[in-house]
Chains A and B, each alone.
Chain A
């Protein structure tokens, strides 16, 4: 405690230092944060809008303010620092309480919620949320993304070890946040195949539900309250909560049980923006039909319509947009052009029907597992001189220059598919000829055995022979899930990787490890498997290709069998920086197509 008092003394003496970019942890909350009060002079404030009690081993419970953003906002620091300096207050002065209460009373207010709903799936809701968030960030506002319920097999792990949808992490990045957490996606539905989904609540597995069970038991039971408390949490901390709906808000057959759209908007008291994808045609009909099917009080929340993904001359849409405005009384606030940005995709559905991506000289076969999960792992490959082939037959494997076996929600069932399609044999034939990388479920498949005696993973209990590329054995003993973030270094040197593990099932590893774990408190742990002489690589770490170190190594092993040699062996850009640049391009496209005056009116901003 004394030590902290000294630190606060030093902070006050140092004055307002704004953002300390020389700190190794910067930005620990958000880009451009004010770092003056690394230690809060008002601790413990016990203001429940800013912090909360957490259990403590020593004290029973302790005040946590690690999610407080107010103390890192410039306007707040300037204000309280002014008072502290004027009054000559020292750390621990009882009058600090008054300073705090006065400043919070004047400067704190709950954030505004705005919700993006879509006329269909794939309307561009997620990207609209990301773009609007980046636009507001550029204007100096602190925003948080929110999607009450997301159905996706593409999840990521937050720094506190919670599992949320990948796309909310991406949106948080668009909004300049470095600490995305479970509040941003409190309900995650992970389809397991058949009709069941695993429901992840506030970052932890909650249970398995089928569709009727989810709508009849979960939603009316805990569902509503989960949505309410997490929206509340975010509104207390951010200027804006930019919410995303799910599918269409006008599914009138399940209207009263839909907590992802207008019910969430009502709980958050959010104004809504309707996004319609014009690519498939019928956009005006979808827009007016959606609006007109909503009950009056919900319809009143829709403040603007965005016509999204317009190819060609946007002016051609103008007369239709004006007519639409006249017919439904809601302004069209944007005609947004189609933009080619390279950002991680939310749904594997997005590449349904797509056979290859890119036109580079290295042909990389990514096995198109039926329950492919965390397929954003392969996104960094698109930035290289590659043609990515989504392989669903042996020929795709036999013609490849490298093979990637990605993750899956169900290793055993998907391995059965791999065998039945002949892809398993094709991969074995390519052993030693081309580099092969298995990630998570794909890594498990590369082993000698898959042991699922209780039928936890597959439909039938049993032991299955794997690809046998490694001598490892994977097993499923109990319904349990490992969710953890990893930092690691290549065992043989060459650099660092960063990522996360999400898996049911564990492995007994009998191979040389690929990585040394460097995460705090886990020194000495190793991860993955490697056989250099046969170019075989396996790891549980999702995102293993994001940092250049391992990607460079893997790509440098690939020899093109095509006529053209690889033009550039490898870009060394961090994938995160690449994504960030693309988020800017996305926001630029939206700014160009939005009527900014009308948009900012909806946001309640006057410029």
Chain B
């Protein structure tokens, strides 16, 4: 499988960042890699050179990969416009408004998203995909696109990113795995624990137990970093702290720093890269 999908146990688990880190890691090793997020719910968008509107997260991931962002990298962008309405951007162009009276044809849109994915797969050595929110939303699973949607449609190998900051991380990993449909569980290869502060050894017994219960492998524990990284949903607040230099360069420097500290903390990026060869 030349692609990998980063899923999150919640919103803000660190998917976007780790996705960018991994893109940068692969690009540094000389791979031609592209980011992809089937569907993105965000008001924070970027306009590509081709005039297409995509999620800001994928734009940054493209820069991390050494690429110019394109519409294929985020084929479906959902922009909530208040009072129950949502604008659907498909392949960078306004497609329709979802409201109480007008429902999106999910399957048709998903097909378009898959076409974008296929195109990236044919053009690049590897595609690093990002999930959306949690993949275990029981009430949304049927219509999901970016998480189990991609797993079902293209059998993408998946790795779970779990945020330890609020606690309950083992419950989050095990619970998410439990709720992933049984036929897709074999795609769940591992997990990464994000935003850890303190002595790593304290987690050992818990990690072993979850590995045993799920068959997933722990690919590492990412230390807490106050990253000057533009969050997907609040660019304006954090953007200012990126310094006076070129924002893309600052960003990539931050990624390099994070790769170093992740590797120093024993995160097995090499192992994740091997998943692409399986």
Q: Interface residues, chain A, CB within 8 Å of chain B? A: 118-122, 211, 247-248, 250-254, 280-290, 292-293, 316-321, 323-324, 327, 353, 355
Contacts and interface: CB of A to CB of B under 8 A. Distances in A.
B202 interface: yes
Interface string B198-237: 1100111111011000000000000000000000000001
Contact of B11 (A118, A119, A281): A281
A429 to B, nearest CB: 24
A252 B212 CA distance: 13
29 contacts: A248-B167, A248-B168, A248-B171, A251-B170, A252-B170, A252-B205, A252-B210, A280-B12, A281-B8, A281-B137, A282-B13, A282-B172, A283-B134, A283-B137, A285-B9, A285-B175, A287-B175, A288-B179, A289-B168, A289-B170, A290-B168, A290-B171, A290-B175, A293-B174, A316-B139, A317-B139, A320-B138, A324-B138, A355-B237
B208 to A, nearest CB: 9
Contacts of A248: 167-168, 171
Contacts of B237: 353, 355
Contacts, number: 123
B228 to A, nearest CB: 14
A542 B184 CA distance: 56
B133 interface: yes
Contacts of A247: 167-168
A128 to B, nearest CB: 16
Interface residues of B, number: 36
B166 interface: yes
Given A287-B175, A292-B174, A121 B167 contact: yes
Interface string B47-77: 0000000000000000000000000000000
A491 to B, nearest CB: 44
B136 interface: yes
Contact of A292 (B133, B140, B178, B199): B178
Contact of A282 (B9, B170, B178): B9
Contacts of A319: 138-139
Contacts of A121: 166-168
B176 interface: yes
B166 A289 contact: no
A172 to B, nearest CB: 25
A311 to B, nearest CB: 12
Nearest to B231: A353
B173 A252 contact: no
Contact of A253 (B136, B138, B202): B202
Nearest to B174: A289
B178 A120 contact: no
A292 B176 CA distance: 12
A290 B176 CA distance: 11
Nearest to B209: A252
A282 B8 contact: yes
A317 B11 CA distance: 17
Contacts of A316: 139
Contact of A280 (B10, B136, B175): B10
A122 B237 CA distance: 23
Contacts of A122: 166
